[in-house]
């Protein structure tokens, strides 16, 4: 090898190194996460503020990287071609130079560096950001022209300004976090509940009309406690003449407070303590009502159906439970909607939502003109059940095990049931 070829090799080496450097920097830049870099900048990690600013203007950074990368790749291919022409002649030199330089640049200048950039984006780009900033200033006039062309093309094609993450991307991240163990099960459940929070309607979570205990206007303290002994609720809608004519809500704590202050006796009218209540459509979303309750400070609302009838009651506590899960009253543990007997047998509340039952117990009960497991049972049996009534849906056996009058209180569910054994 003569000294001319040695000079070419010396020139080729920095071209290849620069090609690898800018290729890896490009991959690293595109792999950075904005939220992560912003957090690092807020924590004053060295170099994070500079990188965060660069991420806000990708149309300025990427043209510089690509411009320099193309320049060094072109220089490498040209030098390699000239060197081989001098060694083996023009015809063979051009052919072999094209093949060999393409392979070298593809492997050492593109594939390997970009793999490294994707794997270690933060460490690599924090190192290269100073150099890229310097190249921006050096190539500013050319980069400015490229930026202008990019903006014109982006305008013609329609700019696509997306949020950092779509809802589906966040849901996928939660699922991956749960599987990897980096997100605890209860944390993942709460995050998933947040997404459902804005979509669910009040009629899916409210205490339905049949479960409400209404008291008539004019009820005295003695009569109130007789009702309370049978129905230990903390809230009682108060009506006048017609149960559809709700005047407000009577809270147990208000009654007890009036007794403690000596303002209420056996013959005293408890309904003078009632609080005003808002009426909302049962189709209103949980998220919307939650925001309204926060604004006005109310904690209770009456849900009304399309015909103007009372369909149920909704409390701020119920709305909150849609995110954090069941919350008991003061000094009480929350009631669970199901009890696991073994991996295939569960005792559940008849009022458990179909969607929740499917998710919690890994069932596949169909949706229909009902919202609860009790509704599903009534539709399938076609009658008011008695204790012991049962049927099999697919491989799921449902048995009515407890009723109060006509209300299905408890249901025993057996998964993977073999109907041939009956």
CATH of the domain at 268: 3.10.580.10
304-323 tens-digit pLDDT = 998 888 999 998 888 888 77
pLDDT at 422: 56
The answer to whether residue 106 scores a pLDDT higher than 90 is yes
pLDDT at 284: 92
318-368 tens-digit pLDDT = 888 877 766 655 445 455 567 888 888 999 988 888 888 888 888 889 988
> What is 278-340 written as a DSSP string?
EEEETTSBHHHHHHHHHHH---EEEEE-TTS-EEEEEEHHHHHHHHH---PSTT-PPPPSEEE
221 or 420, greater pLDDT: 221
165-201 tens-digit pLDDT = 566 767 777 788 778 777 787 777 777 777 777 778 8
pLDDT at 419: 60
- Residue 330 three-state SS: coil
70-86 tens-digit pLDDT = 999 999 999 999 888 88
pLDDT at 21: 94
Of the listed ranges 150-159, 244-253, 273-282, the least confidently predicted one is 150-159
Is there a domain that residue 65 lies in? yes
- Residue 45 three-state SS: coil
Of the listed ranges 101-110, 226-235, 413-422, the least confidently predicted one is 413-422
pLDDT at 368: 85
How many domains are contained in the chain?
A: 4
pLDDT at 414: 92
Helix axes 58-88, 3-31, angle to 10 degrees: 160
Structural domain of 404: 338-421
Is there a domain that residue 48 lies in? yes
How does residue 398 score in pLDDT terms, banded at 50, 70 and 90?
Answer: very high
Q: In terms of residues, how long is the chain?
A: 422
Domain end residue (candidates: 134, 157, 180): 157
> Are 16 and 115 within one domain?
yes
Q: Could you tell me the CA-to-CA distances from 67 to 52, 136, 243, 382 in Å, in that order?
A: 22, 10, 77, 73
CATH of the domain at 379: 3.30.465.10
> Are 87 and 177 within one domain?
no
């Amino acid at each position: 090898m003569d000294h001319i070829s040695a000079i070419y090799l010396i020139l080729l080496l920095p071209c290849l190194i620069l090609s690898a450097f800018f290729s890896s920097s490009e991959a690293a830049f595109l792999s950075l996460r904005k939220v992560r870099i912003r957090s690092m900048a807020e924590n004053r990690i060295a170099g994070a503020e500079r990188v965060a600013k660069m991420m806000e203007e990708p149309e300025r950074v990427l043209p510089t990287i690509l411009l320099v990368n193309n320049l060094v790749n072109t220089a490498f291919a040209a030098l390699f071609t000239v060197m081989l022409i001098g060694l083996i002649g023009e015809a063979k030199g051009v052919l072999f130079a094209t093949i060999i330089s393409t392979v070298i640049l593809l492997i050492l200048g593109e594939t390997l560096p970009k793999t490294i950039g994707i794997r270690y984006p933060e460490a690599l780009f924090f190192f290269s950001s100073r150099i890229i900033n310097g190249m921006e200033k050096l190539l500013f006039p050319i980069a400015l022209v490229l930026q202008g062309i990019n903006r014109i093309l982006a305008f013609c094609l329609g700019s696509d300004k997306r949020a950092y993450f779509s809802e589906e991307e966040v849901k996928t991240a939660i699922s991956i976090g749960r599987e990897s163990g980096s997100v605890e099960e209860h944390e993942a459940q709460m995050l998933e509940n947040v997404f459902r929070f804005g979509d669910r309607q009040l009629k899916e979570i409210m205490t339905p009309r049949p479960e409400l205990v209404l008291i008539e206007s004019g009820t005295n303290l003695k009569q109130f406690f007789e009702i309370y002994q049978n129905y230990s609720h903390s809230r009682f809608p108060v009506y006048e003449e017609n149960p559809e004519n709700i005047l407000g809500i009577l809270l147990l704590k208000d009654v007890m407070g009036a007794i403690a202050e000596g303002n209420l006796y056996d013959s005293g009218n408890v309904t003078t303590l009632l609080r005003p209540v808002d009426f909302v459509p049962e189709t209103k979303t949980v998220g919307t009502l939650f925001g309204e309750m926060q604004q006005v400070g109310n904690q209770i609302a009456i849900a009304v159906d399309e015909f103007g009838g009372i369909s149920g009651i909704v409390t701020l506590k119920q709305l909150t439970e849609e995110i954090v899960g069941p919350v008991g009253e003061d000094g009480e543990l929350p009631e669970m909607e199901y009890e696991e007997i073994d991996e295939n047998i569960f005792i559940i509340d008849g009022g458990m939502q179909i969607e929740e039952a499917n998710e919690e117990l890994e069932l596949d009960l169909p949706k229909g003109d009902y919202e609860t497991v009790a509704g599903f049972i009534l539709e399938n049996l076609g009658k008011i059940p008695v204790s012991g009534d049962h049927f099999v849906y697919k491989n799921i056996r449902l048995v009515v095990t407890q009723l109060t009058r006509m209300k299905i209180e408890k249901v025993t569910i057996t998964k993977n049931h073999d109907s041939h054994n009956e």
